[in-house]
Structure 1
Amino acid sequence: MVFAGQVDMKKMVRVVYIALTASVTGLLLTSCQNDPDIDITKLTAETDPPEMLYNQGLANLQAGKTTEAARKFDAIDQQHPFSEYARKALVMKAFVAYRNGQSQDAINAATRYLNLYPQSEDAAYAQYIVGLAYSKQIPSVTQDQKPAQNTIDAMQKVIDNYPDSEYVEDAQAKIRFAKDQIAGKEMQVGRYYLERKEYLAAATRFRNVVEKYPTTNQVEEALARLVETYFAMGVVSEAQTAAAVLGHNYPDSQWYADSYKLLQSGGLEPRENNGSWISRAGKRLLGV
């Protein structure tokens, strides 16, 4: 609520400000005659109405002048913070930052938008930008995958909070990619332990992939590595079960062929133990 005294004070400040601006403008215009480097168009930027600044921002964005577009949107945010255009400018500021590759700035702006306008029509888009910005930060599987988990969390909010939005389908795709990256990292670490014959640590990583990321591209190898790991540990039943589940899901796979051959070298064959965690995970893979 704005009280009358506050309105009068704002008017007074504005009158004084305009008077000072006029005085300074006169001095600068005089000096501009001898100094061609002064951009006098900036002198009126403070008094441009928010709709003009917003349209100028859009025009610059369309022309590919993203830095100038960001400056216009910033001006609205700073000079007209309680206007409807300030709300629109904030989400555009997030988009421009994302487009410029400034992922953290995009996340900050979009998160601020969501905190201020959680029920607005552009809230779904702001949440989507957060997810996109995190997805841009996802590194190769050899590095820490925290950005991938952040992507999953952000995009899941798009799906859960805005199920009818146009961004749901791409959010699901981004989640699949992020999960595959995390699973790939688990596989990398698991193979590291397996090469060093640290079998228990290796089995834990491969199990994470099978149980937590069953829809990723890493599951096939993870099951085969479990056969190899449990076989090396002498845990025969689990090795046989892993091979059986692998065969049920990927019967034509080279990983299955290699796992079958490994078991045969020990006089064994794939055989599923229904009480094993691998068997339960295998049923989820099959959708049973």
Structure 2
Amino acid sequence: MNQTRPALSLAAALVVALPLLSACSGSKSSDSTPSGPTGTAEEMYSHGIDALNARRFSTADEQFNAVEANYPYSSWAVNAQLMYGYSLYQQNKYTDAIGQLDRFIQLHPAHRDIAYAYYLRALSYYEQIADIQRDQKGTEQAMNALQEVVNRFPDTSYARDAKLKIDLCVDHLAGKEMEIGRYYQKQHLYEAAIGRFQRVVNEYQTTNHVPEALLRLTEIYLTLGLPEQARQTAAVLGYNYPGSDWYRDSYNQLVRDGVATGNEIPEEERPKGFFTRMWDSVF
């Protein structure tokens, strides 16, 4: 998703800051990377980092894999596993990155950078979120992975960023419900449309899709000849979003259908209390 580019910058910065890279600080970058993975574990790992920073990903992958293959029990091999996952992520090979990071997490659950591994895994799911015209299974997977970061590492910067992305996922799911609901409404499948719009109101109350959902419900109730339900739904909309175009549109429809007068719905007729309580009073 395009809005995740700042997160990629964060991830790139983290690569520089990760403790596992500090071991390379004393290594000098050569002008040319060896044609094949040769040398000590530290040398090959350093060559991999140099290639990664230069965005020569195939060389970086080769070096990281060679470290693990030739020195499987060294600390450099462990670090190389994580950096290989990061390299795959940078190449947009998200499925491969998830597989590599899952492996790292299973093998090294107590590693000092385990929080970053979980976060990078969550980002790999998040980057695969499809548009609202497609199935949203990927969005749910991303939300689950991001929530795991929040649950496991609540006091980290990873958790704070994950919370923001969860909100975006929720908004994405709400948008999908609205898209389906509008389709049903156009097809005159009103019962199905009502179910979708009510779900947005009940389950995605923090998103900006709620006022439109209330307007669509008002429209459908008027179409079905249910003026009282339409009036009450518009009242909920007016109470929560009094200055919105959605409320003005709903009220104008009530006036056109003779359900409301030319005066705004009186304050005393609007439901009181929190949003959920108001919505429950309607249904």
> Is TM > 0.5 for Structure 1 vs Structure 2?
yes
Normalising by the residue count of structure 2, what TM-score does the alignment of the two structures yield? Answer: 0.78
Q: Once the 2 structures are TM-superposed, how far is the Cα of residue 116 of structure 1 from its aligned partner?
A: 1.5
Q: Once the 2 structures are TM-superposed, how far is the Cα of residue 279 of structure 1 from its aligned partner?
A: 5.1
User: What is the RMSD of the two structures over their aligned residues, measured on CA atoms?
Assistant: 2.4
Q: Once the 2 structures are TM-superposed, how far is the Cα of residue 171 of structure 1 from its aligned partner?
A: 0.9
Pairing partner for 2:123 from 122, 132, 135: 132
Residue type of the alignment partner of 2:99? N
- Equivalent residue runs for 1:175-186 within 5 Å: 175-186=166-177
Quote the Cα distance in structure 2 between the aligned partners of 1:273 and 1:252.
Answer: 17
Q: Which structure's CA Rg is the greater one?
A: 1
Equivalence for 2:224: 233
Pairing partner for 1:248 from 239, 242, 256: 239
Percent identity of the aligned residues? 38
Residue type of the alignment partner of 1:216? T
Q: Could you say what secondary structure the match of 1:220 adopts?
A: helix
User: Is the aligned partner of 1:121 residue 2:118?
Assistant: no
**Per-residue displacement from partner, 1:252-275 (whole Å, max 9, x unpaired)?**
11110111111222332455568x
Residue type of the alignment partner of 2:106? N
- Preserved CA contact (<8 Å) 2:132 2:172: yes
User: Is the aligned partner of 1:51 residue 2:42?
Assistant: yes
- Preserved CA contact (<8 Å) 1:203 1:226: yes
Query: Which is further off, 149-158 or 171-180?
Result: 171-180
Select the structure that is richer in helix: 1
Equivalence for 2:82: 91
- Equivalent residue runs for 1:129-278 within 5 Å: 129-269=120-260, 271-272=269-270
Quote the Cα distance in structure 2 between the aligned partners of 1:197 and 1:246.
Answer: 23
- Preserved CA contact (<8 Å) 2:271 2:278: no
User: Is the aligned partner of 1:73 residue 2:64?
Assistant: yes
Gaps of 5+ in 1: 1-38, 284-288
User: Is the aligned partner of 1:280 residue 2:256?
Assistant: no
Q: Once the 2 structures are TM-superposed, how far is the Cα of residue 41 of structure 1 from its aligned partner?
A: 4.8
Equivalence for 2:93: 102
**Per-residue displacement from partner, 1:79-105 (whole Å, max 9, x unpaired)?**
323322222111111111111010101
Q: Once the 2 structures are TM-superposed, how far is the Cα of residue 237 of structure 1 from its aligned partner?
A: 3.4
**Per-residue displacement from partner, 1:190-217 (whole Å, max 9, x unpaired)?**
0000001111100111111111111122
Gaps of 5+ in 2: 1-32
- Preserved CA contact (<8 Å) 1:242 1:272: no
Quote the Cα distance in structure 2 between the aligned partners of 1:279 and 1:154.
Answer: 28
Quote the Cα distance in structure 2 between the aligned partners of 1:149 and 1:177.
Answer: 12
Quote the Cα distance in structure 2 between the aligned partners of 1:131 and 1:216.
Answer: 22
Normalising by the residue count of structure 1, what TM-score does the alignment of the two structures yield? Answer: 0.77
Given the superposition, is the C-alpha separation of residues 40 and 248 from structure 1 closer, same or farther in structure 2, using an over 3 Å criterion?
closer
The number of residue pairs the alignment matches comes to 241
